[in-house]
């Protein structure tokens, strides 16, 4: 009897040890699962927080860029006579050749900042009215080989004409549709200088500057072209290369010398001294400049009003 009772207790003890071990394993598994769930939730929350922060900082940078646009507009409207716009020796656009240079166009606002530049579209060569000789002058001055110049100039003329016949070194649909990513020739006027990148022979380093990755800026041949205006060039703001393409080297040199002394008061033949179309390029930055947004607009000035004719806020 005692032996049986002892055996029974031992048996109950054995049963108790087995059930306790199973419970411990279950508890451990529950803890592991909870840790995994909490870890995934924590990671998701951090991701959401980073996305929200990035969105917030990008939106703040965008609004700062807009603030730069508005400040530039205010600067333009404050000038009653845009015919006194003037490109000084440092290639800074000022509004009075007799006045001191304008302060740097940048400002802090809140925890961020913005900077902007103002560019006179009337100081550029119109892609839709330029002659082959004028285009050739620009590309030769940029240092291109004669074969590349012929290809690009002929292709520009083919791009904007309305027929399907190509010039000797030019291109029409038969060329463009044979590319890896085919498209058709425009056969119409340029809507933007950026279309030059679609023209046969044009390369990003030619268009935007040597070593450029295509980021928005003012280098390369892009700085010499516009699609706005009648074709008459503002001699006060046009770069040497544009005036040379229009009037020749000696005349261009004399204009630049006159501008240095503020003595250019009357437009040259085929030119003018006023501006109608202005481009503003504004960039907003967050507090540590890790996030930026750039907005580019072109406005047409009529009297004391500015009409936006182009808006691009998708600049990388």
Tell me if 87 sits within 8 A of 262, measured CB to CB.
no
Give me the pLDDT at residue 86, please: 66
Element (H, E) at 307: strand 305-315
Alpha-carbon gap, residue 199 to 159, rounded angstroms: 7
Q: With 80 as the cut, is the pLDDT of residue 14 above it?
A: no
The tens digit of pLDDT for each residue in 177-194 reads 999 999 999 999 999 999
Q: Is the pLDDT of residue 268 over 80?
A: no
Q: Chain-wide mean pLDDT for the chain?
A: 85
The answer as to whether 23 is a domain residue is no
Q: What is the pLDDT of residue 229?
A: 92
| pLDDT at res. 20 | 66
Domain assignment present for 141: yes
Is residue 157 within 8 A of residue 150, CB to CB? The reply is no
Query: What pLDDT digit, counting tens, does each position of 193-224 carry?
Result: 999 999 999 999 999 986 544 454 446 999 99
Which of 177-191, 206-220, 254-268, 290-304 comes out lowest in average pLDDT? 206-220
Taking 80 as the threshold, does the pLDDT of residue 228 lie above it? yes
pLDDT for 116 beyond 70: yes
The answer to the question of residue 249 being in a domain is yes
CA–centroid distance for 128 within its chain: 22
Question: How many domains does the chain fold into?
Answer: 1
Nearest CA among 28, 32, 51 for reference residue 40:
32
For residue 176, give every residue at least 6 positions away whose Cβ sits within 8 Å of its Cβ, in sequence order, or none. Answer: 182, 183, 184, 185, 198, 200
Q: For residue 62, is it within any domain?
A: no
Helix (H) or strand (E) holding 107: strand 106-109
Residue 70 is predicted with a pLDDT of: 96
Domain presence at residue 41: no
Residue matched to tokens 């549709």: 177
Is the model more confident about 16 or about 301? Answer: 301
CATH number at residue 107: 1.10.40.60
**Cα four-point dihedral sign 130, 181, 218, 149:** negative
Tell me, what's the pLDDT at 8? 47
Please tell me the predicted confidence (pLDDT) of residue 96. 63
Summarised one tens digit per residue, pLDDT across range 15-46 is 445 666 778 888 888 888 888 888 888 878 78
Q: What's the domain range around 251?
A: 67-315
Question: Is residue 113 over pLDDT 80?
Answer: yes
This prediction has a pTM of: 0.76
Q: Which of 79-93, 150-164, 172-186 has the weakest average pLDDT?
A: 79-93
Residue 294 has pLDDT above 70, yes or no: yes
Please, what is the end-to-end C-alpha distance for the chain in angstroms?
Answer: 92
Q: Please choose, from the candidates 117, 107, 137, the residue with its C-alpha nearest in 3D space to the C-alpha of residue 125.
A: 137
Q: Is the pLDDT of residue 104 over 80?
A: no
> DSSP characters for 237-298?
T--HHHHHHHH-HHHHHHHHHHHHTT---SPPTTEES--SEEEEEEEEE-TTSSSEEEEEEE
More confident: 275 or 151: 151
- Range of lowest pLDDT (133-147, 261-275, 293-307): 261-275
Q: What's the pLDDT at 89? A: 66
In a domain, 299, yes or no: yes
Q: What's the pLDDT band for 225 if we cut at 50, 70, 90? A: very high
What does the alpha-carbon distance between residue 176 and residue 185 come to, in Å, rounded to a whole number?
7
**Is 54 inside any structural domain?**
no
Domain-located, residue 137: yes
Angle of CA points 234, 306, 67, to nearest 5°: 105
Burial class (CB in 10 A: 0-12, 13-18, 19+), 199: buried
Q: Cα–Cα distance between 165 and 156 in angstroms, integer? A: 13
């Amino acid at each position: 009897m005692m032996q049986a009772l002892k055996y029974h207790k031992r048996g109950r003890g054995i049963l108790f040890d087995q059930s306790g071990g199973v419970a411990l394993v279950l508890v451990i598994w529950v803890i592991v699962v909870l840790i995994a769930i909490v870890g995934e939730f924590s990671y998701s929350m951090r991701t959401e927080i980073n996305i929200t922060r990035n969105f917030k900082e990008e939106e703040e940078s965008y609004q700062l860029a807009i603030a730069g646009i508005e400040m530039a507009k205010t600067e333009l409207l404050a000038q009653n006579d845009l015919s006194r716009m003037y490109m000084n020796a440092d290639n800074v656009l000022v509004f009075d050749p007799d006045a001191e240079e304008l302060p740097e166009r940048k400002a802090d606002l809140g925890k961020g900042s913005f900077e902007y530049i103002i560019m006179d579209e009337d100081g550029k060569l119109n892609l839709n009215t330029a002659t082959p000789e004028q285009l050739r002058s620009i590309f030769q001055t940029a240092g291109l080989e004669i074969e590349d110049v012929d290809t690009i100039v002929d292709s520009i003329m083919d791009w904007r004409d309305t027929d399907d016949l190509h010039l000797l070194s030019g291109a029409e649909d038969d060329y463009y549709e044979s590319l890896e990513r085919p498209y058709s020739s425009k056969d119409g006027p340029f809507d933007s200088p950026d279309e030059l990148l679609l023209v046969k022979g044009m390369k990003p380093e030619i268009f935007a500057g040597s070593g450029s990755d295509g980021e928005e800026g003012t280098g390369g041949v892009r700085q010499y072209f516009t699609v706005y205006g009648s074709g008459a060039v503002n001699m006060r703001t046009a770069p040497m290369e544009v005036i040379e393409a229009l009037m020749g080297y000696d005349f261009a040199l004399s204009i630049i010398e006159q501008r240095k002394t503020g003595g250019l008061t009357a437009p040259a033949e085929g030119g003018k001294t006023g501006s109608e179309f202005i481009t503003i390029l504004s960039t907003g930055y967050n507090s540590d400049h890790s996030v930026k947004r750039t907005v580019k607009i072109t406005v047409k000035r009529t009297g004391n009003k500015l009409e936006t004719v182009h808006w691009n806020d998708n600049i990388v």
